[in-house]
Structures are given as structure tokens and as C-alpha cells.
Amino acid sequence: MPEGLSPIEVGKELDKHTKEGYEQAASTVTQRHSRFVQICEAVLLSLVTIAAAWSGYAAAKWGTESRIEIARSATLRNLATRADLSALSTRNFDSSTFEAWFAAFTLGNPEKQAIAERRFRPEFKVAFDAWMATDPMHNPRAAPGPTYVPQYKLADQARADALDSKAEAASNAGDRAGRVGDDYIRITVFLAAILFLVGIGSTFKLHTIRYALITLGTALLILATVLLVLQPGLPA
């Protein structure tokens, strides 16, 4: 009588093959999930790395721009101070020549007045003539002296004022560049946090946790990208 399997043994063999089939199918699904998770993590890491590199580079550029503008502002301030001192020296010279003329005028000495007038600077002579045209000896509304009339101009003073304005503009530009650089640094730190999340996600075996971290990282990357787009870009 040929040997065969009993119905019980046949059932056990069928159950064994069924379990093996399920395990093999589950293993295949698990491997697919693992590959998909790894691909998602690799893509996310690549995008975050590129964004972080760009943000760090932009932060460095804006930091350099800030230092350049602040140094430019300091240089302009120094030039403005020199021009202001030169204007003050010129004003003192004009005052001294006018005082010499006024002393000769009070003494009623036309010759000394003429000598004093020859010492006038051409620009001051214009203001002096304009002042004399107002009849200051008899007009109580006349200006106190030639330096008070609109015709009195100091080129160095005008240059000092212009340099002060440029220095203020450079200082403001430097402050703005510094703030932009700080914003880029904050975005870089933000992106580094995303790298940390994705990095620790690879240590978990549960796909659910890794999917959750990938989703969170993707959302943060989108937010960081929006922040990068809102920034002014690289300095000219």
C-alpha cells in the first residue's frame, strides 16, 4: 500500500505554504516601503542641503556687504569732518578779514578799508557786496554781517553736508544688509533642524514614524523655501 499524507498532514503542509506565501508577500511590501522611504529621505536631504548651502552663502554675502557699507560710512564721516573743519577755518578767516574792515570803517580810514577788502575771498566779497546793498548802517532789518546773508556760501560746508548725507545712507544700507544676513542665518538654522529630523528618522524601523518625520520635514522645507523667496536675494 503506497505511503501518503493523512488529511491532517496535508492541512499542515497547506497552512505552512500559505504562511510562507504571506510572509514572502509581507517581506516584499516591507522592502518596497523601505525603498520608498529611503528615496523620499534622500530627495528631502538633497533639497534641504541645497537650500541650506544657498542660505549660508547668501548670509555670508550680506554680512560682507554690511561690513563694506559700515566701513564706507565711517570713511565718509571722516571726510565730512575734515570738510567741516576746513569750512570752519574758512569762516574764521572771513570773520577776521571782516573785522579788519570793520575796524578801519569805524576809524573812518578808507585806505585801510580798501586793503581789508582786497583780502576778502571772492566768494566772501559777493556776500559782502550783497550785505552792503541792504544799507546795514541805516537799515535795522539788515543782517548782522555778510556771513548771515543767503549769498554767503562755503563750498567745504556744502561738501561736508553732502558727505554726511552719503554717510547716513551708507550706514542705513549697512544696517539693512546686517538684518538681511541675520535673516538668512536664521533660515539656515531652520534648515539644519530639518536635516536633524530626517537624520534621526533613519534610525527608526517603523515606517509610520519615518513617514511622519518626512512629512514634517517637507512642510518645514516648504516654509523655509517661502522665507528664502521673500528675501531680497544676493547683494549687487
- Tell me how far apart the alpha carbons of residues 106 and 119 are, in angstroms, rounded to a whole number: 18
Per-residue cell: 62: 550680506
What's the rounded mean pLDDT across residues 191-205?
80
68-116: pLDDT as tens digits? 999 999 999 999 999 999 999 999 999 999 999 999 999 999 999 999 9
Residue 34 pLDDT exceeds 90: no
Residue 218 pLDDT exceeds 80: yes
What's the rounded mean pLDDT across residues 58-72?
94
Contact 163, 74 (CB under 8 A): no
CA nearest neighbour of 95 among 72, 69, 127, 73: 127
Predicted confidence at residue 8, as pLDDT, reads 57
- Domain ranges for the chain, please list them: 42-230
- Tell me how far apart the alpha carbons of residues 180 and 173 are, in angstroms, rounded to a whole number: 10
Residue 191 pLDDT exceeds 80: yes
- Tell me how far apart the alpha carbons of residues 233 and 57 are, in angstroms, rounded to a whole number: 11
Residue 123 pLDDT exceeds 70: yes
What's the rounded mean pLDDT across residues 25-54?
75
What is the pTM assigned to this prediction?
A: 0.69
As a whole number of angstroms, the longest Cα–Cα distance in the chain is 161
Residue 43 pLDDT exceeds 60: yes
- Span of 77-91, 121-135, 206-220 with lowest mean pLDDT: 206-220
- Tell me how far apart the alpha carbons of residues 128 and 145 are, in angstroms, rounded to a whole number: 8
Arithmetic mean of pLDDT over the chain: 85
| Cα 38 to chain centroid, rounded | 38
Residue 127 pLDDT exceeds 80: yes
What's the rounded mean pLDDT across residues 21-25?
46
Phi-psi region of 74 (alpha: psi -120 to 50; beta: other; left: phi over 0): alpha
- What is the pLDDT confidence band of residue 22, given thresholds at 50, 70 and 90? very low
Predicted confidence at residue 64, as pLDDT, reads 94
| Cα 22 to chain centroid, rounded | 61
Predicted confidence at residue 35, as pLDDT, reads 77
